[in-house]
């Protein structure tokens, strides 16, 4: 993939013996993530909040899918799902996950690993109630990841639930809500010419975050 104007740099512009990228990074990785995420939005990346979520079952068999990152809440990365879905059940049996953000216009990606926990009910209620009505109804009626006979079955469930609901607002189902990935490792990657990519790792230590450069 070619580098964009924003990501090109010349090694000649760097002083010998200086690691400017590391010097420019923020001490806290979440703050560094916020800075890059804001850059992605300003540069009109397509769906900058899209992230690949990797989970594994209790036997270690992996599974990955795209989900929407919503915010850094309660000290971690928050997304929402049906807890009875495949990813929800995997996270229940193996409460560790990894997420990946990729912003091609800037030739950047961020990897985050850590342990997961359920978000507070208040946060889940607030987000659920902010969603469009159709999305809330879908969350109420969908047996996410379960086998269903056809699309007509889903549409009939949606229509029947909407009719029974009338003018009332749907309530958040008990099996739907937020999940927080509490990070213990970050990797910030920037593509560079000649495949000498920049890879900076934040690793959780006993006294705070340890910042290290990784070979490309």
Please state whether beta strands 76-82 and 96-103 pair in parallel, antiparallel, or not at all (unpaired). Answer: unpaired
Residue 129: count other Cβ atoms within 10 Å of its Cβ: 12
**Using the 8-state DSSP alphabet, how is residue 41 labeled?**
H
**For the chain, how far is it from start to end, CA to CA, in angstroms?**
16
DSSP code string of 135-191: HHHHHHH--TTS--S-HHHHHHHHHHHHHHHTTSPPPPPTTEEEEEEEEEEEEEEE-
- Note the pTM of the prediction, 2 decimals: 0.85
> How confident is the model at residue 77, as a pLDDT?
96
In degrees, rounded to 5, the angle at the alpha carbon of residue 55 between the alpha carbons of residues 53 and 57 is: 160
Please report the pLDDT score of residue 167 as a whole number: 86
pLDDT digits (tens, 9 = 90+) for 122-162: 999 999 999 999 999 999 999 899 999 999 999 999 999 99
Q: Which domains does the chain have, with CATH numbers?
A: 11-131+174-214 (2.30.110.10)
Question: Residue by residue, what is the 3-state secondary structure of 41-60?
Answer: HHCCCCCCCEEEEEEECCCC
∠ CA 43-211-60 to the nearest 5 degrees? 85
Distance CA 112, CA 188 (A): 9
Q: Which residues contact 210 (CB under 8 A, 6 or more apart)?
A: 202, 203, 204
**Residue numbers in the chain where pLDDT is lower than 50:** 1-17
Q: Look at residue 75 in the predicted model and tell me its pLDDT.
A: 85
């Amino acid at each position: 993939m070619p580098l964009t104007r924003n990501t090109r740099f010349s090694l000649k512009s760097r002083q010998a013996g200086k690691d400017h990228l590391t010097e420019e990074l923020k001490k806290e990785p979440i703050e560094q993530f916020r800075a890059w995420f804001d850059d992605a939005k300003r540069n009109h990346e397509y769906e900058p909040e899209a992230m690949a979520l990797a989970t594994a079952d209790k036997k270690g068999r992996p599974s990955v899918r795209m989900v929407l990152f919503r915010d850094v809440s309660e000290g971690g990365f928050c997304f929402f799902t049906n807890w009875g879905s495949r990813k929800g059940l995997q996270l229940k049996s193996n409460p560790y996950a990894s997420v990946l953000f990729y912003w091609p216009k800037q030739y950047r990606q961020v990897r985050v690993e850590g342990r997961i926990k359920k978000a507070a009910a208040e946060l889940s209620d607030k987000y659920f109630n902010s969603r469009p009505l159709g999305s809330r109804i879908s969350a109420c009626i969908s047996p996410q990841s379960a086998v269903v006979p056809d699309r007509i079955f889903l549409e009939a469930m949606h229509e029947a639930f909407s009719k029974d609901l009338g003018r009332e607002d749907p309530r958040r189902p008990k099996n739907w809500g937020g999940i927080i990935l509490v990070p213990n490792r970050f990797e910030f990657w920037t593509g560079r010419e000649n495949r000498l990519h920049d890879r900076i790792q934040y690793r959780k230590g006993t006294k705070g975050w340890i910042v290290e450069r990784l070979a490309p």
